[in-house]
Amino acid sequence: MARLDVTETFHGISFPGHLHTQDSLQQALEFQFRDTDILIVSYPKSGTTWMQEIVTLVSNKGNPHISQTIPNWTRAPWLEQYYFAAMLKASSNTPRLFTTHLPHHLLGPALQGSKARVIFVSRNPKDVAVSYYHFHKLANFLPETGSFEQFVNQFLDGTLHYGSWFDHIKGWTSQAADLNLLHITYEEMSMDLKGAIRKVSCLLQCPLLEEEVSSCMKHCSFNCMKDNRMINYSLIPDEILDHSKGCFMRKGQIGDWKNMFTKEQNQHFESVYRSKMQGCSLEFVWER
């Protein structure tokens, strides 16, 4: 199948040109946030879609109607995606819900002084790299990968689409105090989903009864999301996501990196990680 991997370089970072244009990226940077807005921020493959589902369910008190009838990219559109730009500006929904993979050094200025609620989702970077590698296989709008080793090196160098994971994580977390930001990790959602839902419900000021929390937990479980066409990306045509090469809802586990990394790759990763994260107090759960 022909690939659609035109690269758009914007402020030195490469983006998939099939999804973003110079114009749409620039418009995202100039976006006028409202204090009532909710913004899900993540580096790709960190649990973005999972959080989109959690926010939808919490906002609807556990009722799955919206999450089963409206695709996630319509209910929580990407700020930087070109076909949403006009729709986003015109939206009169309150609160408006968006998603972005943009790094803080690009989007931060637009958020300065805003009380918009930011939900920052992160995941241990070894699992991010593995998930991103597999996603490149099915996503025709991303460049073809070489070997896993080459891919991990690109990840560590920050040359993959959407830029450096290290810049992304350090950029957003170091600015947390100046933003109305809740940081939740993929591992937290995996190990304490109820706690993560409670935190989101608190941020959204959307109190939930115990049975509403249970309904949220049920509908955002891996198996439920895997079967829900409005969130599992099966509605995307094969030319864009080649479903014969794998599923978006792939494994959903902590520590899958152990099945991919060689001992040497792991040692190299850890040494780059130590050097790039020096002075950063964040800690990740790497395995269960």
Q: How far is the CB of 229 from ligand A3P (least distance, A)?
A: 14
Q: How far is the CB of 32 from ligand A3P (least distance, A)?
A: 26
Q: Residue of minimal CB distance from ligand A3P?
A: 252
Q: How far is the CB of 103 from ligand A3P (least distance, A)?
A: 15
Nearer to ligand A3P, 34 or 137 (CB): 137
Maximum pairwise Cα distance, the chain: 52
Which of 78, 57, 80 has its CA nearest to residue 219? 57
Catalytic one among 101, 136, 161, 219?
A: 101
Nearer to ligand A3P, 5 or 256 (CB): 256
Q: How far is the CB of 23 from ligand A3P (least distance, A)?
A: 24
User: Contact positions toward ligand A3P, by CB under 6 A?
Assistant: 42, 44-50, 127, 131, 134, 190, 220-222, 225, 249-252, 256
Which of 16, 71, 56 has its CA nearest to residue 235? 71
Question: Residues near 161 by Cβ (< 8 Å), separated by ≥ 6?
Answer: 7, 14, 15, 16, 44, 142, 143
Question: Residues near 279 by Cβ (< 8 Å), separated by ≥ 6?
Answer: none
Nearer to ligand A3P, 145 or 275 (CB): 145
Which of 110, 87, 89 has its CA nearest to residue 41? 110
Nearer to ligand A3P, 47 or 171 (CB): 47
Nearer to ligand A3P, 109 or 195 (CB): 195
Q: How far is the CB of 220 from ligand A3P (least distance, A)?
A: 5
Q: How far is the CB of 99 from ligand A3P (least distance, A)?
A: 9
Asked if the peptide bond before residue 95 counts as cis, ω within 30 degrees of 0, the response is yes
Cβ atoms of residues 56 and 220 within 8 Å: no
Nearer to ligand A3P, 114 or 240 (CB): 240
Establish whether 161 is a catalytic residue: no
Catalytic residues: 101
